[in-house]
Structure 1
Amino acid sequence: MTRLVLIDGSSYLYRAFHALPPLSNAAGEPTGALFGVVNMLRAHLKEQPEHIAFVVDAPGKTFRDEMYPEYKATRAPMPDDLRAQVEPMMEIVQALGIPILRVPGVEADDVIGTLAVQAADAGMDVTISTGDKDFAQLVRADDGAGSVVLVNTMSGSRMDSDEAVAAKFGVRADQIVDLLALMGDTVDNVAGVAKCGPKTAAKWLGEHGTLDGVIAAAPGIKGKIGDNLREALDRLPLNRELVTIRTDVALDGGPETLALRERDADTLRALFTRYAMNQALRELDGGAAAPAPTARAGKPARGAAFVTAPQPETTLDPALSAPGEYEMVLEQAQLDAWVARLRAADEFAFDTETDSLDAMRANLVGMSFCVEAGTACYIPLAHDYPGVPAQLDRAAVLAALAPLFADPARKKLGQHGKYDLHVLRRHGVEVAGYADDTMLESFVLDSGRSRHDMDSQAARLLGYATMKYEDVAGKGSKKILFSQVALDDATRYAAEDADVTMRLHRLQAPKLAAEPGLESVYRDIEMPLVPVLARVEANGVMVDAEELRRQSADLSRRMLAAQQRATELAGRTFNLDSPKQLQALLFDELKLPAVLKTPKGQPSTNEEALEAIADQHELPRVILDYRALAKLRSTYTDKLPEMINPDTGRVHTSYHQAGAATGRLASSDPNLQNIPIRSDDGRRIRKAFVAPPGRKLLACDYSQIELRIMAHLSEDAGLLSAFASGADIHRATAAEVFGRKLDEVTTNERRAAKAINFGLMYGMSAFGLARNLGISRGEAQDYIALYFSRYPGVRDFMERTRNEARERGYVETVFGRRLYLEYIGKGTQGQRAGAERAAINAPMQGTAADIIKRAMVAVDACLAPHADRAKMILQVHDELVFEADEGFIDTLLAEASRLMCAAAELRVPLVVDSGVGANWDEAH
């Protein structure tokens, strides 16, 4: 049967623009949207349709604007980067031989609708390639005559029958217009019934059949939603006209005129070269093209949006760039077959789908698996929308899979798999043999990148635009739980996760293998840490909610006092939380100097700006005190009690291995790394972290670890001697710099030496040291010169490190972790200076991170036989915190200290300070 493909060009251009990163060619021209659209076109052309058209909106107003002047009035103008890609897109489409249609006075939707109906009436099979839900009103099943099918190559979804439409929207194709009229469309500025989402609209249409039926029944619909419906009755008929796709547009030619023409190879070659479309160029010149989609169960395989990134980092194996084939597992025989495949595989990728981002409370909705790139499955377990097909019993499925997960010899692979380990543990499944994690592979290969999520990796490494969560679950007020996502969409989304994870691993594993130092960091430090962090997070920490409430009350009283004092100093009331009011008061009325400016050129009122003028007037200091109190209350004393897990009675933070380029762990929900320890109020918060009855907390903290690493790396004889003797390093430094005996060093001299010791590690300049110590810049420069004269090895190490960084483009930790420095030796003066500071600091901070990670793995293994007596509950900077039975504390202290000291062999000894108490403050 003759086939016609109608491409919604406007929809895909926008979707590709927002789905892909901001790519550009060598000339700096934006290309992201081009890659998405061109790839979609290539996918359609590989299927060799007899007839095809690329339909876009014509400029100017349409009949809908005349009907409703506010139509699309709220739409933002097209972004400049997107507008720049429209003309190149049209040139490529034309050179591919695809007819382009732009009809004035109507939208592209109406042109597509008219052609689709004409073609289907003539017995043709029509494929509408779009991401626009409105086209669901045109779906027509294949009943032996012509059909109309919707295919979204961005998400891979396919809609070819009333059943498929109902699975997605809860109504038949002929009810879609009425559904849209009730819901409205915020994008097109069509106001529906307030608070009426797809579920309510589908429910009304299920009960009353049509929009007219709903309107007639409106007087009897109760509640606020009934009131909202009655308020909207007057506009619903207009809504129906606005959302109805016209199928009677007068066109110059019919579907039979839209034959695919011969392509213009020379023009395509020039365009593909200009925009760095390397894969498309190779195909054009006879290179190996990606395999065409294969068919399954009598239907075309769902496509996927693979896009070739400019100047790819590696040549892709065709197996990594071919469209995937995904299976929905609903029958026992299918499950048995997949269990057999998993049992026979050397490794498999897996992913979980849940109803919450909180791993400690998430319920399992489904699971996906992949054993080879391009082949994956989704096992739905708890989807619960009306009409959902029967699913396999969750407990039975987990029982069948549990032996595979528990087998340490069977390698498991994930993307940020720590979350999935938590979910499975909550459902009674323990995971052993978690061998690879693509997030950590990406992080170790290039820790300086800001994003290591699957979507970003797929776009960067595979040229693949993944299906987004909002594509299947919506966003904002219309967002639904994954358990309510239609199984067809859920399968494509979830199975893709496991598939892309496997593809990324296949690509990144050889890169790690080619770099023994990096592979060691990955294999020996990062991967063993994953289950350890999962246990620490699951252990959680007890907090005393009553103690926090008392602290909140005290902070509130002191905040009020600060507000009153600020009012007295200002001579009038003002909002301490308003930067605009502070600007007017401090700089316009009090005439204080504006030391720092905002990006918009306004006087800054941030902490640094207020600190700079706090010695000139009392008010800035009062404001700073107020802010410090407010931050402690809002971030900790008010929030922590709300974060107590009702199932465990504990607070469970989340640790992020890929959070900092140097390898330092970060934490969130709550962020325990940022609890202030220099103020009494900050330290007091630690009193609320408590041990349960019969137990104590043990805190073990590395002493001056980064200075010890500096001594190791610089091999400076003076530093090595000071640490070897066990001397107070800051007092020893002061004695060297100021030429005194140790017992003659004054408090101020030790403070200055401490500032120098730490300041040099972080690249502090003479100006910064002067401000820190409250001395002149000349004095500060003299201090630094004295320091380097006494510790020449440190000066030589710094110079050597800068030179090596310029030559190699990166620096390394003692264990081989790398930090790439983009601006070392180039960029602006500020960028170069920042890169040089990072070159000095990163090896020390990164080595410290590696050491405590190694220590955590060792201590966790030591605790395994004593899990009922002790557990690790926190990691904060260079400190580990444990909870243990009172009778086990001494044993734990000895073993934890021994293992932490043995976590690295440096030229100076590692030293661990420890303390025990009923709460964290006492133990610290």
Structure 2
Amino acid sequence: MPRLVLIDGSSYLYRAFHALPPLTNAQGEPTGALFGVVNMLRATLKEQPEYIAFVVDAPGKTFRDDLYADYKANRPPMPDDLRAQLQPMCEIVEALGVPILRIDGVEADDVIGTLAIAAAADGIDVTISTSDKDFAQLVRPGIALVNTMSGSRIDSDDGVVEKYGVRAGQIVDLLALMGDAIDNVPGVDKCGPKTAAKWLGEYGTLDGVMANAASIKGKIGDNLRAALDRLPLNRELVSIRTDVPLDRGPRELPLRARDNDVLRGLYMRYGFTQALRDLDGNGVPTAADGPVSLRATEAGFARSGAAAAPVAPPDPALAGPGEYETVTDEARLAAWICKLEAADEFAFDVETDSLDALRANLVGISLSVEPGKACYIPLAHDYPGAPPQLACGHVLDALRPLLADPARRKLGHHGKYDIHVMRRHGIDVAGYADDTMLESFVHNATASRHDMDSLARRYLGIGTVAYDDVTGKGAKRIAFAQVAIDDATRYSAEDADVTLRLHRVLAPQLAAEPALERVYREIEIPLVQVLARIEANGVMVDADELRRQSADLGRRMLAAQQKATELAGRSFNLDSTKQLCALLYDELALPTLVKTPKGQPSVNEEALEAIAELHELPRVILEYRGLAKLRGTYTDKLPEMINPETGRLHTSYHQAGAATGRLASSDPNLQNIPIRTDDGRRIRTAFVAPPGHRIVACDYSQIELRIMAHLSQDPGLLQAFASGVDIHRATAAEVFGRPLDEVTGNERRAAKAINFGLMYGMGAFGLARNLGVGRGEAQDYIALYFSRYPGVRDYMDRTRQQAHEQGYVETVFGRRLYLENINARNAGLRAGAERAAINAPMQGTAADIIKRAMLTIDAWLADAMPDARMILQVHDELVFEVAEGDVDALLAGVTARMTAAAELDVPLVVDCGVGMNWDEAH
């Protein structure tokens, strides 16, 4: 059956405009709505419909204005930056081969309605592409609604009922009762969709509701009766016409051939790299492109007011196809060694049999010395018919002088993994000069994901071969050693090639921002080798102690289950959300104070905390969950993760995780071990020192508050830190106007909540909840705080303003933190970005400081204390393993370097501890 797609162009345009923050191309032209429309059109055109139309409203009045003078009277004029995108939108739509329809005197809805009904009667399958609920009145056999942004589809009465609570034939009556604030159609006051659907369920039609208005009780009944006179007009205003005279019918709207030359110029002008890629491919978007997304980070735009982030490579060769060679004989290996020796820099990448770098064995190595040219050296491919390969040891011997030479610049992408693998195979990589993952991260941490595939699309405009493409997925996945060598070459050589190409694009962009380049060159790149050493060091863990803790946690979980059964009066599954909801909210009739995003009663931690004062059972459930989490995440899992080759636990640190620059850890995540509970601290007792050694933990004291004092230059805060007094007690003394020695415990607690809360953008509501006081009292506390520390308020105001103007804030060291939603139209998103703007410089500066400390400490340890090990970094804390006799020397050296890691206007203070295990040292 032929298909007709009718696109609600106005819906596309406004939805895209309001879904995205203000975006511009490199020339400063607004592009947000245009990008959204193009992406949605590309998704629609994947289906290649026989007939199509892009329908938009014509300027001027319509018949509805004649019926009701105030129709759309409160709608604001189109914003200038949206109006500027109308003409290029039409140019792109036309170039895509899609007819544009504008009919005077009616709205786009009426044109779509007329064409849809005519096409369905003519045996054409109709899809209306829109997010406007009004079109639900047209749903019937042969006419479906598709929301391209959400992917939802409604093609039957049942679908309409599920979405709106009424049948398609009742939608007009539903809208008449509800009214439409956007179009200034007043409905029944306080009558929302549920009430309107309820009335129509009882009385069938609008006429039935009106006839029974006298029997509807309460204030809502009064409101209905007050609106009776205008409801017939409402019905006419919200009814989509299906009889508009048109100069062409559905079969006169074929999808035409697109004009690639025009499209290429428009796409290049507005920076649509993925669309450009499609043009230069087979002309049709591929399934690999994934669902339509309005994420600006994938578009290649500059943020409004922020530095431009061009994505088109300056050299066409950087986006061209690659020439890849398989090296399986001595002659080719020797030729590539010569190329490497002659090159100023080269990219390398390894293929292995494991994601665990400390246990992985080499399968192959790829190398690239110039864009578009790379090789793959297979070493351990093992499958029937696999060709002979060079011996691994022989290849490594040939590469060792190059990889170990600090004067030869090496490039990688997430090269820490490759460094680990090469060290495991006897080569200490030196001269690791650039990492494209970190170049991208420092250049703009939030502009994109930083995996190679995403960066290749963004900065080179090319699609790469995915790992799944060569190994398969799921149960059918094969090991890389079983991948055919030709396929492995295509995949792995491309990795080295793309790494080099990305570096050639990203390096100049970093060089154009000296502060960012310093962060990259002086902090992030040298930190790669430091983190590799920390990860390789690992930490000794007492597996027997963890097993004892697991057994104890298991016994207490069982006791909690028994207690819960006793309180409930019956047995139930504490891990079943459905059973918990039924028990707490139906049987025990506890109030639903927290709901899920879908409006259902929630049993998450917040929900249970909210009702824990009303019944003992929620508290017991929370206790059970806490015990289960510790057992499942740590005491059961950590012994299994001990490396059998080293007998130690090795975490992985991630530099390109948090936008603020804070390090994250995984496999296992040692930064989330709870320390505020006895059980959480007990886990740390299992992290032990070897015989004759001690664990030393050194932690920055209140570093973010100290950074706040430095950034705000508030005299009160500067003086408090300079005097060395307890900052929370000093704050309480200022806020409550009393001597330090008369500050009560509750007053110090309130001051501490304010000190930390303000850094994270906490308002009166959050502070009130934290302190258990009224919102008015909490607001008074905040007002008092700002009156005593006016510099803090000035800093916050100044930072917000800078963020709105520039689109980013900076750390003390120049790390740039972009704020995607700082100028968002949505107030909630904008407020969240403002809170992040205030906190990010403090958190980011703290991250930079401890990284700087790690660099100097690592160098000092290698020179002065080679037997001491830096074994963990957790938030603002560094953990070491040192011989008993060297503890004092380590403490002195580490403390000196941590306190000297930044020159702030307040002293950096480091708290240190020593013990047989991590808990004792903390």
TM-score by length of 2: 0.70
Give the 3 Å change call, closer, same or farther, for CA 36–895 of structure 1 in structure 2.
Answer: farther
What is the match of residue 373 of structure 2?
375
Whether the 8 Å contact between 2:311 and 2:461 is mirrored in structure 1 is: no
How far apart are 1:827 and its partner, in Å? 2.6
Whether the 8 Å contact between 1:350 and 1:370 is mirrored in structure 2 is: yes
What is the match of residue 403 of structure 1?
401
Task: Tell me the distance in 2 between the aligned counterparts of 1:910 and 1:57.
Answer: 66
Aligned length: 673
Are positions 1:436 and 2:434 aligned together? yes
How far apart are 1:279 and its partner, in Å? 9.5
The one-letter amino acid of 2:695's match is L
Out of 7, 20, 34, the residue aligned to residue 26 of structure 1 is 34
How far apart are 1:56 and its partner, in Å? 10
How far apart are 1:706 and its partner, in Å? 0.3
Whether the 8 Å contact between 1:306 and 1:465 is mirrored in structure 2 is: no
The one-letter amino acid of 2:628's match is A
Deviations 1:678-712 (A, max 9, x none): 00100010000000101111000000000000000
Whether the 8 Å contact between 1:24 and 1:310 is mirrored in structure 2 is: no
Are positions 1:882 and 2:880 aligned together? yes
Task: Tell me the distance in 1 between the aligned counterparts of 2:827 and 2:50.
Answer: 48
What is the match of residue 916 of structure 2?
918
The one-letter amino acid of 1:549's match is R
Whether the 8 Å contact between 1:346 and 1:410 is mirrored in structure 2 is: yes
Task: Tell me the distance in 1 between the aligned counterparts of 2:633 and 2:822.
Answer: 37
Whether the 8 Å contact between 2:349 and 2:418 is mirrored in structure 1 is: yes
Give the 3 Å change call, closer, same or farther, for CA 25–836 of structure 1 in structure 2.
Answer: closer
What is the match of residue 758 of structure 1?
756
What is the match of residue 252 of structure 1?
none
The one-letter amino acid of 2:310's match is E
What is the match of residue 312 of structure 2?
315
Task: Tell me the distance in 2 between the aligned counterparts of 1:306 and 1:450.
Answer: 15
Are positions 1:680 and 2:674 aligned together? no
Give SS of 1:700's match.
Answer: strand
1:867-906 equivalences under 5 Å are: 868-906=866-904
Out of 442, 465, 468, the residue aligned to residue 466 of structure 2 is 468
Deviations 1:246-287 (A, max 9, x none): xxxxxxxxxxxxxxxxxx998334555677798999999xxx
Give SS of 2:809's match.
Answer: strand
The one-letter amino acid of 1:313's match is P
What is the match of residue 421 of structure 2?
423
The one-letter amino acid of 1:769's match is L
The one-letter amino acid of 1:589's match is E
What is the match of residue 641 of structure 2?
643
How far apart are 1:492 and its partner, in Å? 0.5
Out of 352, 357, 362, the residue aligned to residue 355 of structure 2 is 357
Whether the 8 Å contact between 1:351 and 1:498 is mirrored in structure 2 is: yes
What is the match of residue 268 of structure 1?
260
Give the 3 Å change call, closer, same or farther, for CA 359–27 of structure 1 in structure 2.
Answer: closer
Q: Which runs of 5+ in 1 are unaligned?
A: 1-21, 39-54, 60-86, 93-263, 292-304
What is the match of residue 454 of structure 1?
452
Give SS of 1:501's match.
Answer: helix
Deviations 1:372-410 (A, max 9, x none): 110000011111111111111110110111111111111
What is the match of residue 853 of structure 1?
851
The one-letter amino acid of 1:406's match is A
Task: Tell me the distance in 1 between the aligned counterparts of 2:467 and 2:274.
Answer: 33
Whether the 8 Å contact between 2:821 and 2:830 is mirrored in structure 1 is: yes
What is the match of residue 621 of structure 1?
619
Task: Tell me the distance in 1 between the aligned counterparts of 2:402 and 2:390.
Answer: 18
The one-letter amino acid of 2:259's match is T
The one-letter amino acid of 1:744's match is E
Task: Tell me the distance in 1 between the aligned counterparts of 2:485 and 2:553.
Answer: 51
Out of 521, 524, 530, the residue aligned to residue 522 of structure 2 is 524
Task: Tell me the distance in 2 between the aligned counterparts of 1:882 and 1:592.
Answer: 50
What is the match of residue 383 of structure 2?
385
Task: Tell me the distance in 1 between the aligned counterparts of 2:752 and 2:289.
Answer: 54
Are positions 1:717 and 2:709 aligned together? no
Task: Tell me the distance in 1 between the aligned counterparts of 2:258 and 2:97.
Answer: 12
Give SS of 2:355's match.
Answer: coil
Give the 3 Å change call, closer, same or farther, for CA 356–832 of structure 1 in structure 2.
Answer: same
Task: Tell me the distance in 2 between the aligned counterparts of 1:694 and 1:718.
Answer: 47
Deviations 1:556-615 (A, max 9, x none): 111111111111111111111111111111112222221221111101111111112211
Give the 3 Å change call, closer, same or farther, for CA 274–393 of structure 1 in structure 2.
Answer: same
The one-letter amino acid of 2:730's match is A
What is the match of residue 120 of structure 1?
none
The one-letter amino acid of 1:28's match is G
Out of 812, 815, 822, the residue aligned to residue 814 of structure 1 is 812
Give the 3 Å change call, closer, same or farther, for CA 273–865 of structure 1 in structure 2.
Answer: closer
Whether the 8 Å contact between 1:309 and 1:463 is mirrored in structure 2 is: no
What is the match of residue 630 of structure 2?
632
Task: Tell me the distance in 1 between the aligned counterparts of 2:511 and 2:352.
Answer: 34
Whether the 8 Å contact between 1:272 and 1:278 is mirrored in structure 2 is: no
How far apart are 1:653 and its partner, in Å? 0.2
The one-letter amino acid of 2:34's match is A
Give SS of 1:881's match.
Answer: strand
Task: Tell me the distance in 1 between the aligned counterparts of 2:890 and 2:592.
Answer: 54
1:33-72 equivalences under 5 Å are: none
What is the match of residue 591 of structure 1?
589
Give the 3 Å change call, closer, same or farther, for CA 433–281 of structure 1 in structure 2.
Answer: closer
Whether the 8 Å contact between 2:345 and 2:408 is mirrored in structure 1 is: yes
1:828-843 equivalences under 5 Å are: 828-843=826-841
What is the match of residue 142 of structure 2?
none
Are positions 1:413 and 2:411 aligned together? yes
Whether the 8 Å contact between 1:290 and 1:322 is mirrored in structure 2 is: no
The one-letter amino acid of 1:914's match is C
**Range with bigger deviation, 614-623 or 650-659:** 614-623
Are positions 1:542 and 2:540 aligned together? yes
Give the 3 Å change call, closer, same or farther, for CA 620–332 of structure 1 in structure 2.
Answer: same
What is the match of residue 549 of structure 2?
551
Give SS of 1:566's match.
Answer: helix
**Range with bigger deviation, 271-280 or 639-648:** 271-280
The one-letter amino acid of 2:529's match is P
The one-letter amino acid of 1:624's match is L
Give the 3 Å change call, closer, same or farther, for CA 813–363 of structure 1 in structure 2.
Answer: same
What is the match of residue 740 of structure 2?
742
Out of 727, 730, 752, the residue aligned to residue 728 of structure 2 is 730
Whether the 8 Å contact between 2:348 and 2:365 is mirrored in structure 1 is: yes
**Range with bigger deviation, 737-746 or 651-660:** 737-746
Whether the 8 Å contact between 1:407 and 1:433 is mirrored in structure 2 is: yes
Out of 824, 827, 835, the residue aligned to residue 825 of structure 2 is 827
Task: Tell me the distance in 2 between the aligned counterparts of 1:892 and 1:639.
Answer: 32
How far apart are 1:447 and its partner, in Å? 1.1
Task: Tell me the distance in 2 between the aligned counterparts of 1:465 and 1:374.
Answer: 14
Task: Tell me the distance in 2 between the aligned counterparts of 1:306 and 1:497.
Answer: 20
How far apart are 1:25 and its partner, in Å? 7.9
1:129-528 equivalences under 5 Å are: 267-270=259-262, 272=264, 313-316=310-313, 317-449=315-447, 451-528=449-526
What is the match of residue 234 of structure 1?
none
**Range with bigger deviation, 820-829 or 627-636:** 820-829
Task: Tell me the distance in 1 between the aligned counterparts of 2:617 and 2:903.
Answer: 51
Task: Tell me the distance in 1 between the aligned counterparts of 2:669 and 2:593.
Answer: 31
Whether the 8 Å contact between 1:345 and 1:371 is mirrored in structure 2 is: yes
How far apart are 1:462 and its partner, in Å? 1.2
Root-mean-square deviation (CA), in Å?
3.0
Give SS of 2:446's match.
Answer: coil
TM-score by length of 1: 0.70
The one-letter amino acid of 2:744's match is T
Whether the 8 Å contact between 2:352 and 2:362 is mirrored in structure 1 is: yes
Task: Tell me the distance in 1 between the aligned counterparts of 2:528 and 2:330.
Answer: 33
1:776-815 equivalences under 5 Å are: 776-815=774-813
Give the 3 Å change call, closer, same or farther, for CA 452–33 of structure 1 in structure 2.
Answer: farther
Task: Tell me the distance in 2 between the aligned counterparts of 1:479 and 1:905.
Answer: 53
